[in-house]
Chains A and B, each alone.
Chain A
């Protein structure tokens, strides 16, 4: 699946998008895998209360299923308007 990062999450990880092979069943499972990769991921995902997640472009929460998902995106709380 594609994993996308926006705003400071993108800056901290250092890329906007990457293809990830995962057996994780939930967003949280994917976060654990990413955290274990490298320091920059651990840092970006250190405080989940500062993050929001969308699965296939719908806002959801960290215990949501990602089975069959094409796209998971991580970003800070939105500041539109």
Chain B
């Protein structure tokens, strides 16, 4: 299990290759990459603030919860903070398992919890505004489907 919080960019392709190469006898690797998207056609950049210390703790807790809940060989979480441009990769998760169902479900779980339980805050600067991104009720609701096991 590896959790990385960094300011600089990362190469999702080579991260995924290294993650895959490090596994043995895993039949399934699933990865997800989150990318800065220009929602309103005018995004200049996105700033992500985080809570150093708590961020690492929260991500490690989410990743280890996934390791306990599913039959996983390994989990990788990379999340950036600081300033990002449209098309930049913000974060990625990867899961390795013997079977695809565990790998898919665990990646989905990681994403749901990263969205609203890891201390990151996005701010979008467009040509006309500079606003904190509001959390969505649907993201909060998404956590409920994991509460029964």
Contact = CB atoms under 8 A, between A and B. Distances in A.
Asked if A pairs with B, the answer is yes
A51 to B, nearest CB: 12
A75 B121 CA distance: 9
A78 B121 contact: yes
Interface in A61-81: 73, 75-81
B120 A80 contact: yes
6 contacts: A6-B119, A7-B49, A7-B132, A54-B51, A77-B135, A81-B118
Contacts of A8: 132
Contacts of A73: 51, 54, 119
Residue picked from B34, B91, B119, most chain A C-beta under 10 Å: B119
Interface stretch (B13-21, B66-74, B98-106, B109-117): B109-117
Interface residues of A, number: 17
Contacts of B111: 81
Given A7-B123, A7-B132, A80 B51 contact: no
A80 B116 contact: yes
Given A4-B51, A81-B115, A76 B34 contact: no
Interface of B: 34, 49, 51, 53-54, 57-58, 79, 90-91, 111, 114-123, 132-135, 140
Contacts of B51: 4, 6, 54, 57, 73, 75
Contacts, number: 69
A54 to B, nearest CB: 6
A59 interface: yes
A76 B57 CA distance: 18
A8 B133 CA distance: 10
Nearest to B133: A79
Contacts of B132: 7-8, 76, 79
Contacts of B117: 59, 78, 80
Contacts of B134: 79
